[in-house]
Amino acid sequence: MAEVVASELRQKILSGELQPGDSLSSESSLVEEYDVSRPTLREALRLLEAQQLITVRRGSHRGPVVSHPDTSVTARSFSMLLQLREGTLADIYAFRMIFEPVAVRMAAETATDDDFARLRELLDEENAVRGDAGKFPDVAWRFHTTLVGLSGNVTMTVIAKTLEHISKRHAQAALLRWADGDRQRDSAFRAHKKLVGLLEKRSGAEAERFWAEHMADVGKKLLSSSDELSIVELME
């Protein structure tokens, strides 16, 4: 019964009937509505909480509050699945190099002036942390994910956000070891800046080619020093 109750509440959340921030009914009301015992209801709520669909605030009079899962949950499960299937960091970068350049071309065709302004803001953030090997990858990979989001394709965007967690931590680990880390960060910043210029000119085909070449170069450098790293270790 706990799974049945959890399923009904899950459908209300996923359908949009319940929005993030909405409070569910009180425990007493839910017990009466679903005609279940309190232990059964609490188990149903634990199932939803484990999926990050609700937040249970102990001692709060609001009761359970609807939330949306963070992509870090998906990333952790995905990384474990890849590890069990003997997936590698090379697999991840090969996949990113397939869909990101295509997403860039799509962004050149559909992005708005406000979208370009967001990319310029990220460039400013990158420039501000270019000297920090720990912080730069965080902003740089947000730039990648934002680019994919501008394609308008929801599936690619969710995948990119999931892979961002792994790719970002890999880049951070690599940059901290590289003797030429400063030069690599400068090179990445210049590439990002050039790409934004191409996007603003609506040069989709040229932007796609440039991004494919850039990602191939960066991937070759990153993967040359990743033998000792596993996907799961990057998520710990």
Least confident of 30-34, 54-58, 96-100, 102-106: 54-58
Mean pLDDT score of the chain, rounded to an integer? Answer: 88
Tell me the two tokens of residue 139: 């902003």
DSSP type of residue 23: B
Q: What is the share, in percent, of the chain residues with pLDDT greater than 90?
A: 56
Q: In this structure, how many other beta carbons lie within 10 angstroms of the beta carbon of residue 177? A: 9
- Unique residue bearing structure tokens 């188990």: 43
Residue 232 has pLDDT above 80, yes or no: no
Q: What is the share, in percent, of the chain residues with pLDDT greater than 70?
A: 93
Residue 46 has pLDDT above 70, yes or no: yes
C-alpha distances (whole Å) from 154 to each of 5, 103, 181, 215 are 29, 11, 33, 22
Q: Hey, what amino acid is at 133? A: A
Distance of alpha carbon 121 from alpha carbon 124, whole angstroms: 5
pLDDT tens column, 129-183: 999 888 898 899 899 999 999 999 999 999 998 888 888 877 877 777 777 888 9
Contact partners, residue 97, CB within 8 Å, separation at least 6: 212, 215, 216, 219
Give the angle subtended at the CA of 165 by the CAs of 160 and 169, to the nearest 5°: 130
Instruction: Check: CB of residue 231 under 8 Å from CB of residue 89.
Output: yes
Tell me the mean pLDDT in the region 71-91: 82
Instruction: Check: CB of residue 75 under 8 Å from CB of residue 163.
Output: yes
Fold designation for 2-66: Arc Repressor Mutant, subunit A (1.10.10)
Instruction: Check: CB of residue 104 under 8 Å from CB of residue 153.
Output: no
- How much is the pLDDT for 230? 64
Tell me the mean pLDDT in the region 115-134: 94
Q: Does domain 71-235 have CATH number 1.10.1200.10?
A: no
- How much is the pLDDT for 209? 97
Q: Where in the chain is the domain with CATH 1.20.120.530?
A: 71-235
Tell me the two tokens of residue 183: 């030069």
Instruction: Check: CB of residue 88 under 8 Å from CB of residue 231.
Output: yes
Q: How far apart are the first and last CA of the chain?
A: 35
